[in-house]
């Protein structure tokens, strides 16, 4: 039970306390007779978004069974343009009065979400923030500052404060900027560690494979890689193995995918020494909290942040969930 709480109920606990405070100060509004909740999320193009889609559907199944006056409509998009069009469909065709959105991109979705909110729809934004927070009522995310800071601190210590590092970024979003800024802020404290390059690889193992191939061609000495996502780490490791490079001693991914956590637990690969938590289950929690708050006429706290913590062999079992898709 302790393990289950560590990763999956932190958001519920934090938000419950804040929601109770909001209620006590008069945040309750007139509860709608029915809640028609739209969920807009990226398609399952890699492991993490596969987890997002799975957990969103779990939330729909459980919540509609429990609440007869709740309808949940889920839309998955392959790109920002498709997601923007889906928002219009959710408003005009599905007549939603609440929205939970995991934006495909930050800038491209800000105006479409503003338009939805302008029509009286309650908006919860998850993970990838918008460029204008006034477009949302609530924001739920993992700790993206820690997601960048924790790997940088670990890498700096593992390298003894000296060496060459390359980084692979995700998609151009506010959360990716937060992660990269935090990573850089730590490296600035270690002038003998050189960040050779940091390129976008779209949280995708195939793209990461290509980016890492480029790094391996251009840089003859690389001591550590920050892949910033476990899917990207898989592509990085494949490129390293294919090139038969032995200079890279550490590959640090992120988000605690079950395959990477199992590798860590079993000490299968000496290059995989640590990870940082960031579970896709927060989409389930965001949908549940938003739906149940709106059924009561309540609002969520403006911001809820779920801690991102260091995963090592010593505590990996707390973050290993074999039945999860991610």
What is the tens place of the pLDDT at every residue in 14-39?
A: 444 444 444 433 344 455 579 999 99
Domain 2-142+279-308 CATH class label: alpha beta
Question: Cα–Cα distance between 315 and 46 in angstroms, integer?
Answer: 25
H helices of the chain, in order, are: 2-8, 10-24, 47-66, 80-92, 106-117, 144-158, 174-187, 205-218, 230-243, 258-266, 282-296
Question: Cα–Cα distance between 283 and 277 in angstroms, integer?
Answer: 15
Give the largest Cα separation in the chain, rounded: 64
Q: What is the per-residue pLDDT across 48-90, written as a single tens digit (0 to 9) for each?
A: 899 999 999 999 999 999 999 999 999 999 999 999 999 999 9
Chain centroid offset of residue 165 CA: 23
State mean pLDDT over 244-272: 96
Chain centroid offset of residue 293 CA: 23
State mean pLDDT over 106-121: 97
Average pLDDT, the chain: 90
pLDDT at position 31 is 56
Question: Cα–Cα distance between 164 and 227 in angstroms, integer?
Answer: 14
DSSP result, 237-279: HHHHHHHT-----EEE--B--HHHHHHHHHT--TT---EEB--
Of 272, 267, 277, nearest in space to 150 by CA: 277
Residue 217: both structure tokens together: 């061609």
State mean pLDDT over 181-202: 98
Find the range with the poorest average confidence among 232-236, 249-253, 254-258: 254-258
Of 177, 182, 175, nearest in space to 154 by CA: 182
Of 225, 234, 179, nearest in space to 48 by CA: 234
User: How would you classify the pairing of strands 193-200 and 250-252?
Assistant: unpaired
Q: How confident is the model at residue 243 (pLDDT cuts 50, 70, 90)?
A: very high
CATH 3.40.50.2300 fits 144-276, yes or no: yes
Interior/surface letters 264-279, b for 16+ CB within 10 angstroms, e for the rest = bbeeeeebbbbbbbbb
For 312, the enclosing helix (H) or strand (E) is none
Question: Cα–Cα distance between 164 and 223 in angstroms, integer?
Answer: 5
Residue 113: both structure tokens together: 């979400």
DSSP 319: G
Q: How far is CA 160 from CA 38, 163, 190, 207, in A?
A: 49, 8, 10, 30
Q: Is 225 helix (H, G, I), strand (E, B) or coil?
A: strand
Residue 304: both structure tokens together: 């809820």
Instruction: Tell the burial category of 120 from Cβ atoms under 10 Å away from its Cβ (0-12, 13-18, 19+).
Output: exposed
Give Cβ neighbours of residue 216 (< 8 Å, ≥ 6 apart): 222, 239, 240, 243, 245
Q: What is the per-residue pLDDT across 282-315, written as a single tens digit (0 to 9) for each?
A: 899 999 999 999 999 999 999 988 889 999 999 9
Give Cβ neighbours of residue 61 (< 8 Å, ≥ 6 apart): none
Phi, psi of 136 (to 5 degrees): -125, 160
Domain with CATH 3.40.50.2300 in the chain: 2-142+279-308, 144-276
């Amino acid at each position: 039970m302790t393990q289950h709480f560590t990763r999956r109920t932190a958001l519920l606990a934090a938000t419950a306390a804040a929601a109770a405070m909001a209620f006590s100060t008069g945040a309750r509004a007139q509860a709608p007779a029915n809640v028609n909740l739209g969920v807009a999320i990226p398609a399952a193009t890699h492991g993490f978004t596969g987890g997002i889609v799975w957990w969103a559907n779990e939330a729909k199944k459980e919540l509609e069974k429990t609440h007869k006056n709740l309808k949940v409509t889920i839309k998955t998009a392959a790109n920002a343009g498709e997601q923007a069009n889906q928002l219009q469909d959710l408003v005009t065709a599905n007549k939603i009065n609440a929205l939970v959105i995991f934006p495909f991109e930050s800038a491209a979705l800000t105006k479409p979400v503003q338009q939805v909110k302008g029509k009286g729809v309650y908006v919860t934004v998850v993970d990838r923030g918008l460029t204008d927070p006034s477009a949302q009522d609530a924001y739920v995310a993992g700790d993206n500052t820690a997601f960048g800071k924790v790997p940088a601190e670990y890498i700096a210590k593992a390298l003894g404060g000296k060496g060459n590092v390359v980084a692979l970024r995700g998609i151009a979003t506010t959360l990716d900027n937060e992660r990269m800024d935090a990573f850089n802020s730590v490296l600035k404290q270690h002038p003998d560690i050189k960040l050779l390059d940091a390129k976008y690889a779209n949280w995708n193992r195939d793209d990461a494979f290509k980016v890492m191939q480029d790094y391996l061609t251009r840089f003859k000495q690389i001591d550590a890689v920050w892949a910033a996502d476990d899917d990207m780490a898989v592509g990085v490791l494949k490129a390293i193995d294919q090139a038969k490079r032995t200079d890279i001693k550490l590959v640090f991914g992120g988000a605690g995918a079950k395959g990477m956590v199992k590798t860590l637990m079993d000490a299968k690969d000496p290059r995989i020494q640590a990870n940082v938590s960031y579970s896709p289950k927060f989409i389930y929690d965001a949908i549940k909290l938003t739906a149940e708050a709106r059924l009561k006429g309540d609002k969520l706290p403006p911001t809820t942040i779920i801690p991102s913590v260091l995963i090592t062999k010593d505590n990996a079992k707390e973050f290993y969930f074999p039945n999860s898709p991610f």
